[in-house]
Structure 1
Amino acid sequence: MPKTHNRWLVLIAVLVAFVPIVIDMTILHIAVPSLTLALGASGTEILWIIDIYPLIMAGLLVPMGTLADRVGHKRMLLTGLAIFLVASVIAAFAPTASVLIGARLVLAIGASMVMPNILAIIRQTFDDANERAMALGLWGTIGGAGAAFGPLVGGFLLEHFWWGSVFLINVPVMAIVWPLAYFVVPKRKPEGTAEWKFGQALALILGLIATVYALKSGFKPGSSVITSLSIAAIGLALIVWFVRQQLRSATPMLDMSLLQTPAIVAGVVMALVVTGALAGVELTIAQELQFVVGRSPLQAGLFMMPLVVASAIGGPVAGYLVKYVGLKWLAPASLLIAALALSVLGVSDFHHPGVTVYLMMAMLGLALSIGLTASSIAIMSNAPADKAGAAGSLEGTGYELGAGLGISLFGVLLTNIYATNLRVPEGLAALVPANAKDSIGETMLAAQGLGDQAGLLEQAARLAFSSAHQTVLLSAATIVALLAIGVGFALRNYSAPEQSGH
C-alpha cells in the first residue's frame, strides 16, 4: 500500500472527530448533582443516564466495526457523526430522565459507528510501525485527556448555563468535524468479508444490558434475588450464544482468532479494567467534591486539572517509551504506578488536599494514559491491516464495556456502602422517604423538604459518602494492581512484531 502523503492531516481529522465522542463518556460525571436536582432523577435513573452510553457502545462496536470493513470506514464515520449531532440536540432539551436515557442511547449508536473507524483509519494510514506507534500515542492522548477533560468542560458549562449545555456543545464541534473528515479522509475500497447479522448484534446488546441490569437491581434493598439471578442467567446465555456463533462461522462478525495473540488479549483486558476503574473513580470523586466538600461544578472540574494535563502528556510519552523500554515492561509498570496513586488518594482528605493529592492526581492521569496507549499499541500493532476494523472495534469494546461495568460495579459498591453507613438523625426517620438511602443525590433531595433540620440530614449524608468514597478508591487500586501482575505475566515472552508494509 502506498504511503499516504497527507497522513498527518488525516490523523488530525479523525482525532478531532474523536474529541466529542470521548468527552461525552465523562462529561456527565460532573453534572450528576445538577441533573439529579433539575430532573428529579432517582439514583437508578442517574446510573442509567450515564451507563446506557458505554453499554450500548460496547454491544455495537463489534458489529459496527465489522460492517465498516464491508461498506467503507469513511462512509460509516460520516454517518455516525451525523447521528451523534442529532442525538446531542435531543439530549440537550430532554424534559425527563427517561427521554435523556433514550437520547443517550441514540448518542451511543452514533458514537459506535465512529469509534472503530478512527482506529482502523489510523491503522491503514500509517504503515511504518514507529509512525503508527506515535499516531496511536496521540490517539491515546485524546482518549485519556478527553475523558479527563470532560468534567472540566462540564463544570465550566454548568457554571454559566443549564445542564443541557453539556450536550449542546457538540453541535459547533460537529459543524467543523464533519466537513473536515469529508474532504480529508481518503475513501478506500472495503476489504472485509465478515458477515453482518442483526440478530447476533442484538443478542450481544441485550446480553450486556440484561447482565448489568441484574447487577444493578440485585443489590437494591428489597429486590428479588431469584429474579435478578434469572435475568443475569439470560444475559450471560445471550453473550455465550453470540460467542459460539462467532466460533462456528467461517466469516464471523468478531474474528475470535485475534484473541489467540497474547498481546491482543492483554491489551483488551487492560482497556477493560483500566477504563472501568477510571470511570468509577471519576464519578465518585466528582460527587465527593460537590456533595461533600461543597465545590461548584467548575471548581470540581478545576480540581481534576492535574489529571487532565498528565493524561495529555501520557499518550505521546508512551509512544516514545515503548520503542526503548518495550511494551512488556511499560504496560505493567504504568499500572502499578496508577495503583499506588489510587491508594494514596483513597486515604487522602479532599477538604484539605495539599500538594500530595494534586501530585497523585497527576501521577494517576499520566500512568493510566500510558497504560491505555500501551494497550492500543498491543492490539493494533499485532492485528493484520485487513482486520483493522475488527481489531479497532475489539479495543473500543474493551473501553466501553470497561466504562459501563466500572460505573455499574463501583456504583453498586458505592450505593451499598453509603446506604449501610447513612445514619438518619433521631426524630427525622419518619420524615425521610425510604428511597433517600439509595444515593447521596436522593438524600439531598429529601433534605430540601426538611426546612431548618435539613443540615442534620445533609451532614449525615456527607459522612456516609466519604466512607464509601474511600472504599471505592482503595478497591480500584487493588484491581489495577492485580491487573499489573496479570499483564506482566501475559507479556513476559512478548516481542514487538517486525516492521513491514501491508
Structure 2
Amino acid sequence: MSLPRNRWLVLFAVLLAFVPIVIDMTILHIAVPSLTLALGASGTEILWIIDIYPLMMAGLLVPMGTLADRLGHRRTLLIGLAVFLVASVIAAFAPTAAVLIGARVLLAVGASMVMPNVLAIIRQTFDDPRERGMALGLWGTIGSAGAALGPLAGGALLEHFWWGSVFLINVPVMLLVWPLAYATLPRRKPTAAGNWTIGQALVLLVGLVSTVYAIKSGFKAGNSPIVTGATLLAGLALLAWFVRQQRRSATPMLDLTLFGKPAITMGMVMAIVVSGALAGVELTVAQELQFVVGYSPLEAGLFMMPLVVASAIGGPLAGYVTGLLGLRMVATLSLLAAAGSLAGLGLSDFHNPGLGVIALMATLGLSLSIGLTASSIAIMGSAPADKAGAAGALEGTGYELGAGLGITLFGVLLSASYASAIRLPAELAGALPPSASHSIGETMTAADRIGDAGAALAAAGRAAFSDAHAMVLLTAATLIGVLAMVVFVALRNYRETAVASAAH
C-alpha cells in the first residue's frame, strides 16, 4: 500500500484530536480545591470525580479499539469526538457532584472511541519505521506534555473563570478538530476479522470496573469486607470468563497472543505503574502547592512548567536514543532517573524550591517522556497493521487503568497518612465534624465554616499534609525503581528478537 501523500496532515489531525483527551486526564487536578468548595464535595466524591474518567476508559478502550478495527478507525474517532463535545458541555454546567460524575462517565465513552484510533491511524498511515518512530515520538510528546500541561491550563482558566471552564475549553477545540479530521482522515475498508458482541464488551467493562472498585473500597475504613470481597471475586470471575472466551475462539474479539510479545507486555506494565504513580503524585503536588504553600491555581500550574517543557523535548528524542541504545537500556535508565527525581521531590521543601526542585521536575518530565514513548514505538511496531486498534487500546488501557488505580491507591495512602499525622486543636475538638481530619480539602472546608477560629485548624492541616505528601512521593519513587529492574530483566532478549524478526 502506498503511503498517503498527506500523511503529515493526517498526523496533525489525529494529534489535535488527542490533545483535549489527554489534557482532561489531569486538568481537574489543579481544580480540586475550587471544586471541593464550590460543590461542597466530600473527599470520596472528589476521588470519584477525578478517577471515574480513567477507570471507565480502562474498561472501554479494548472493546472500542477492537470495534474500530472492524467498523473503521475514522468513523469511530469522529463519533467519539462528538460524544466528547456533548459531555464537556454537561460537565461544565454540572450543578452537583453526582451530575459531574455522570458527565465524566460520558467523557470517558467519547475519549475511549478516540484514543485507540489515534494510535491505529498512525500505525496504518506510516509504514516506514523511521517515519513511524517520529510520528509516535510526536504522539508521546502530546501525551506527556499534554498531561503535564493540564494543571497549567486549569490554573490559567481558574484565575479568571469558574471551575466549569476547565471543561468548556474543550468545545472550541472540538469544533476545530472535527471538520479537520472529517476532511483529512483516510477512508479505509476494515480488514480485521473476529467477533465483536456487546455482551462480551460489557463483561470486560463490568469485570474491570468491579475489580478496581473493590480495590478502591477495600482500602477505606467502614466498608464491609464481605461486600468488598464478593465484588472483587465477581469482577475477577468476569475477567477470567472473558479471557477464556477469547482463548477458545478462532476469531476472538481481542487477540490475546499480542501479550506473547515482550515489548507489548512490558509496555503495559510500564504504562500501569508509571501513569499510576504520576497521577497520584500530580494530584498530591497540586494540593500541596495550593493548600499548604498558598499558591494560586495559575502559580501552581506554572510551578509544573519544567515538567511540561522537558516532556515536550523527550518525545522526539525517544526514537533517536532507542535506536542508539536499544529499548531495554532506554526504558531502564529513564525509569531509574524518574525514580531518583521523585525521591528528590519527596525530600524537597516546596516553600523554598530553588533550582534543585526545577531540575528534578525537568528530569522527571524528560525521563518519563523518553521511556514511555520508546515503549509506544515498540508496542505499535510489534503489532500487525490490522490489529493496530487493539494494540493501541491495550496501551491506552494501561495508562487509564494505572491512572485510576494510582489516584485511588495514592489517595488512600495520602488520606491514611494525613489522618494519622493531623493534630486537631484541643479547643476545637468538640465543634468539628468527624470528616475534618479525613483530607486536606475537608479540613480547609471546616476551617472556613468556623471563621477566625479556623486558623489553628488550617495550620494543623497544612503541617499534616506536608508529612503525608513526602510519603506519597517516596512511595512512587520506590515503585518506579522496582519497575526499572523488572524491565531490565524482562527485556534482556528484546534487541535480538526484534532484529531477528526484521530479518524475516
TM range (shorter): over 0.9
- Report the CA distance between 1:132 and its aligned residue: 0.6
CA contact (8 A) 1:27 1:154 kept: yes
- Report the CA distance between 1:432 and its aligned residue: 0.9
Match of 2:62 in 1: 62
Q: Does 1:214 align with 2:214?
A: yes
Q: Which amino acid in structure 1 is aligned with residue 187 of structure 2?
A: K
Match of 2:342 in 1: 342
Query: Which deviates the most, 402-411 or 159-168?
Result: 402-411
Q: Does 1:83 align with 2:62?
A: no
- Report the CA distance between 1:34 and its aligned residue: 0.3
Match of 1:12 in 2: 12
- Report the CA distance between 1:109 and its aligned residue: 0.2
- Report the CA distance between 1:311 and its aligned residue: 0.6
Measured in 2, the distance between the counterparts of 1:477 and 1:165 equals: 33
Measured in 2, the distance between the counterparts of 1:222 and 1:52 equals: 21
Match of 1:367 in 2: 367
Match of 2:178 in 1: 178
Match of 2:50 in 1: 50
Q: Which amino acid in structure 2 is aligned with residue 325 of structure 1?
A: L
Instruction: After superposition, give the CA deviation of every residue in 1:310-334 in whole Å (9 maximum; x if it has no partner).
Output: 0111100102211111111111110
Measured in 2, the distance between the counterparts of 1:295 and 1:303 equals: 9
1:321-360 equivalences under 5 Å are: 321-360=321-360
Q: TM-score, normalised by structure 2?
A: 0.98
Match of 1:423 in 2: 423
CA contact (8 A) 1:263 1:490 kept: no
Match of 2:110 in 1: 110
1:21-36 equivalences under 5 Å are: 21-36=21-36
Root-mean-square deviation (CA, aligned residues, Å) is: 1.4
- Report the CA distance between 1:230 and its aligned residue: 2.1
Measured in 1, the distance between the counterparts of 2:124 and 2:237 equals: 36
Q: Which amino acid in structure 2 is aligned with residue 51 of structure 1?
A: D
Measured in 2, the distance between the counterparts of 1:216 and 1:17 equals: 31
- Report the CA distance between 1:497 and its aligned residue: 5.0
Query: Which deviates the most, 381-390 or 219-228?
Result: 219-228
1:170-319 equivalences under 5 Å are: 170-319=170-319
Instruction: After superposition, give the CA deviation of every residue in 1:192-242 in whole Å (9 maximum; x if it has no partner).
Output: 112112122222222222223223322323322222222222222222222
Q: Which amino acid in structure 2 is aligned with residue 72 of structure 1?
A: G
CA contact (8 A) 1:289 1:350 kept: yes
Query: Which deviates the most, 233-242 or 87-96?
Result: 233-242
Counterparts in 2 of 1:352 and 1:254: CA distance versus 1, 3 Å: same
- Report the CA distance between 1:498 and its aligned residue: 7.0
Paired residues in the alignment total: 502
Gaps of 5+ in 2: none
- Report the CA distance between 1:437 and its aligned residue: 2.2
Q: TM-score, normalised by structure 1?
A: 0.98
Instruction: After superposition, give the CA deviation of every residue in 1:9-45 in whole Å (9 maximum; x if it has no partner).
Output: 1111100000000000000000000000000001111
Measured in 1, the distance between the counterparts of 2:318 and 2:431 equals: 55
Measured in 2, the distance between the counterparts of 1:194 and 1:284 equals: 43
1:326-475 equivalences under 5 Å are: 326-475=326-475
Q: Which amino acid in structure 2 is aligned with residue 73 of structure 1?
A: H
Query: Which deviates the most, 291-300 or 191-200?
Result: 191-200
Instruction: After superposition, give the CA deviation of every residue in 1:227-281 in whole Å (9 maximum; x if it has no partner).
Output: 2222222222222222222222222222100001111111111111111111111
Counterparts in 2 of 1:501 and 1:388: CA distance versus 1, 3 Å: farther
Match of 1:156 in 2: 156
CA contact (8 A) 1:267 1:374 kept: no
Q: Secondary structure at the match of 2:338?
A: helix
Instruction: After superposition, give the CA deviation of every residue in 1:413-459 in whole Å (9 maximum; x if it has no partner).
Output: 11111111111110211111112222111111111122221011111
Measured in 2, the distance between the counterparts of 1:253 and 1:296 equals: 48
- Report the CA distance between 1:501 and its aligned residue: 13
Q: Which amino acid in structure 2 is aligned with residue 202 of structure 1?
A: L
Match of 1:94 in 2: 94
Q: Secondary structure at the match of 1:26?
A: coil
Q: Which amino acid in structure 2 is aligned with residue 156 of structure 1?
A: A
Q: Which amino acid in structure 2 is aligned with residue 274 of structure 1?
A: V
